[in-house]
Amino acid sequence: MSVVSDTIDWLGDSVNYSGSGGVPTRMVEHLVYTAETIAIAGLIAIPIGLWIGHARQRSSSHWIHRHELPVALVRSARVGNDQ
Protein backbone atom coordinates (compact mmCIF):
# COMPACT_ATOMS: atom_id res chain seq x y z
CA MET A 1 0.00 0.00 0.00
CA SER A 2 1.10 3.54 -0.57
CA VAL A 3 1.16 6.38 1.87
CA VAL A 4 -1.74 8.07 0.09
CA SER A 5 -4.00 5.02 0.25
CA ASP A 6 -3.03 4.40 3.90
CA THR A 7 -3.93 8.00 4.70
CA ILE A 8 -7.28 7.76 2.93
CA ASP A 9 -8.05 4.53 4.78
CA TRP A 10 -7.11 6.09 8.11
CA LEU A 11 -9.22 9.19 7.47
CA GLY A 12 -12.19 7.04 6.44
CA ASP A 13 -12.09 4.88 9.57
CA SER A 14 -14.61 6.16 12.14
CA VAL A 15 -12.54 4.76 15.03
CA ASN A 16 -10.05 7.62 14.54
CA TYR A 17 -12.71 10.25 15.31
CA SER A 18 -13.65 9.21 18.85
CA GLY A 19 -12.00 8.48 22.15
CA SER A 20 -8.93 9.93 23.80
CA GLY A 21 -6.78 9.42 20.70
CA GLY A 22 -9.31 10.76 18.23
CA VAL A 23 -8.80 13.59 15.78
CA PRO A 24 -10.96 16.14 17.68
CA THR A 25 -9.14 15.48 20.95
CA ARG A 26 -5.72 15.78 19.31
CA MET A 27 -6.79 18.96 17.51
CA VAL A 28 -7.81 20.57 20.80
CA GLU A 29 -4.47 19.53 22.33
CA HIS A 30 -2.57 21.17 19.48
CA LEU A 31 -4.63 24.36 19.76
CA VAL A 32 -3.92 24.51 23.50
CA TYR A 33 -0.18 24.05 22.90
CA THR A 34 -0.28 26.79 20.28
CA ALA A 35 -2.12 29.19 22.59
CA GLU A 36 0.33 28.49 25.43
CA THR A 37 3.30 29.09 23.15
CA ILE A 38 1.88 32.39 21.87
CA ALA A 39 1.12 33.51 25.43
CA ILE A 40 4.66 32.72 26.60
CA ALA A 41 6.16 34.49 23.59
CA GLY A 42 3.98 37.52 24.31
CA LEU A 43 5.00 37.56 27.96
CA ILE A 44 8.62 37.69 26.86
CA ALA A 45 8.41 39.96 23.82
CA ILE A 46 5.87 42.62 24.85
CA PRO A 47 7.72 43.88 27.96
CA ILE A 48 11.02 43.93 26.07
CA GLY A 49 9.42 45.83 23.20
CA LEU A 50 7.83 48.33 25.56
CA TRP A 51 11.13 48.81 27.39
CA ILE A 52 13.03 49.41 24.15
CA GLY A 53 10.35 51.77 22.86
CA HIS A 54 10.25 53.86 26.02
CA ALA A 55 14.03 53.89 26.34
CA ARG A 56 14.27 55.33 22.83
CA GLN A 57 11.72 58.03 23.65
CA ARG A 58 13.64 59.21 26.73
CA SER A 59 16.86 59.83 24.87
CA SER A 60 17.23 62.35 22.09
CA SER A 61 20.29 60.49 20.81
CA HIS A 62 18.36 57.21 20.54
CA TRP A 63 20.63 54.71 22.30
CA ILE A 64 19.57 52.03 19.82
CA HIS A 65 19.39 53.44 16.34
CA ARG A 66 17.01 51.92 13.87
CA HIS A 67 19.69 50.09 11.86
CA GLU A 68 22.25 49.50 14.60
CA LEU A 69 20.88 46.22 15.96
CA PRO A 70 20.33 44.44 12.60
CA VAL A 71 23.79 45.49 11.42
CA ALA A 72 25.36 44.17 14.62
CA LEU A 73 23.50 40.86 14.23
CA VAL A 74 24.66 40.48 10.62
CA ARG A 75 28.24 41.27 11.59
CA SER A 76 28.18 38.74 14.41
CA ALA A 77 26.81 36.08 12.04
CA ARG A 78 29.58 36.81 9.57
CA VAL A 79 32.26 36.49 12.24
CA GLY A 80 31.01 32.97 12.93
CA ASN A 81 31.30 32.14 9.22
CA ASP A 82 34.78 33.67 8.82
CA GLN A 83 33.63 36.22 6.25
Domain ranges of the chain: 3-80
pLDDT band at 58 (very low <50, low <70, confident <90, very high): low
Contacts of 4 (CB under 8 A, 6+ apart): none
Across 36-40, 43-47, 70-74, least confident range? 70-74
Backbone angles phi, psi at 62, to 5 degrees: 50, 90
Q: Is 10:16 a contact under the CB 8 Å cutoff?
A: yes
In whole angstroms, what is the distance from residue 47 CA to residue 6 CA?
A: 47
In whole angstroms, what is the distance from residue 33 CA to residue 55 CA?
A: 33
pTM of this structure = 0.54
